[in-house]
Amino acid sequence: MSHSFTAPWWARNPHLQTILPVLTKVPRPKLQRERLELPDGDFLDLDWQQTPANGEPVLVLIHGLEGSAQSHYARRMLLECRNQGLAAVVHHHRSCSGMPNRLSRSYHSGDTEDLAFSLRHIASRFPHSPLLAVGYSLGGNVLAKFQGEQGEHSPLTRAAVVSAPLTLSACAKRLEKGFSRVYQSYLLRQLQQKLRAKIANPAMQMPVSADKVDSLNTFKEFDDKVTAPLHGFTGVDDYYHRASGLPFLGRITSPTLVLHAADDPFMTEAVIPTQAQLSGAVHYELYPHGGHVGFIDGGHPFKPRYFLERRVLAFLTDRS
């Protein structure tokens, strides 16, 4: 089976590849929510489309920054899983399931403990089902880091990492430049809104006051003043260094697909691993076009066709 990706002539622009999928309607999946109570008093929400029967595999979806089960890429993957009869569940990062989380802390690019908790729970519920996972953008970085940390102890049979910001400092700088600032502004507005709600709650101890929120207008500033202190890092440089997924690729032992587009407006060449940085279990694919979690390979602007779901599911179900 050929897995080469070519963008159609009308979708060679990286911003079109990135934005058009957001604007394209995908049916809303029917999902069943399961809440997991965490040892620290917080919770995680899992949204199940279908549970496995008779030891069939389960695909765990890990969304990106401020994403959810309703993100365009998650909806498309859930639809394709339903078409193929594959059980699928979305792991929501804290505060991303439509419900605010209970603690001052939230989630971040290197937060593998919550993912590990979800996977342990799913494995205990369905002990005979192989676990598969796909992570998108921030969720892809989390998944790459998790796979490297776990090594031969990973509970995942196979994994796929899509458009992951594997070198966080370089990606933060990229989002301060040119049209990419539009994406930064869009995502920061959502983070700022959640931050304001927590600051307004007197029970929460937040690292900044309400009058400082508007000044946090780059990811680097937000991560330095909010993400890093809330999650035990000494500052933004410590956070970006310890949370970046790239150094973990060499320690992965279960088959893992890592997929990037060279024109991704969230990335720079710093995310592209050298051969020496990859373990033998990592299958790396870099395409000239595709934008950020786009990879439109046909159809027309009102009904685009996507490479992503076909490629990821072919890899995860071991059709190469």
Q: Give the integer Cα–Cα distance in Å for 190 and 65.
A: 10
DSSP assignments along 279-292, one per residue:
-TTEEEEEES--TT
List the one residue out of 44, 26, 228 whose CA is nearest residue 122.
44
Residue 3, number of CB atoms within 10 A of its CB: 15
Q: 207 exposed, middle or buried (CB, 10 Å; 0-12, 13-18, 19+)? A: middle
Residue (of 314, 271, 301) closest to 17 by Cα position: 301
Kindly list the catalytic residues. Answer: 137, 264, 292
Strands 156-162 and 256-261: parallel
Residues in Cβ contact with 248 at an 8 Å cutoff, skipping those fewer than 6 apart: 144, 145, 147, 148, 149
Spell out the residues 6+ positions from residue 73 whose beta carbon is closer than 8 angstroms to its own: 21, 63, 64, 67, 136, 162, 293, 308
Rounded CA separation 115/142 (Å): 8
Indicate the burial class of 32 (C-beta count within 10 angstroms; 0-12, 13-18, 19 or more).
exposed
Taking the C-alpha atoms of residue 233 and residue 113, their distance in angstroms, rounded to an integer, is 15
- Domains of the chain by start residue, with CATH: 9-167+245-316 (3.40.50.1820), 169-243 (no CATH)
In 10 A of CB 317, how many CB atoms? 15
How far, in Å, CA of 267 to CA of 272, rounded? 9
Task: State whether residue 245 is helix, strand or coil.
Answer: coil
E strand or H helix at 183 = helix 180-199
| Residue 175, Ramachandran bin (φ over 0: left; ψ between -120 and 50: alpha; else beta) | alpha
Q: Is 164 helix (H, G, I), strand (E, B) or coil?
A: coil
* Residue 256 bridge partners (DSSP): 159, 282
Assign residue 290 a region (left: φ > 0; alpha: ψ between -120 and 50; beta: otherwise): left
Q: Give average pLDDT by consecutive 10-residue segment, the chain, 320 residues.
A: 81 96 94 98 97 95 98 98 96 97 97 98 97 98 98 98 98 96 96 96 93 95 97 97 98 98 96 97 97 96 95 88
Long-range contact list for 208-215, CB < 8 A, 24+ apart?
none
Model-level pTM greater than 0.95? yes
Q: Which position has the token pair 């804290």? A: 94
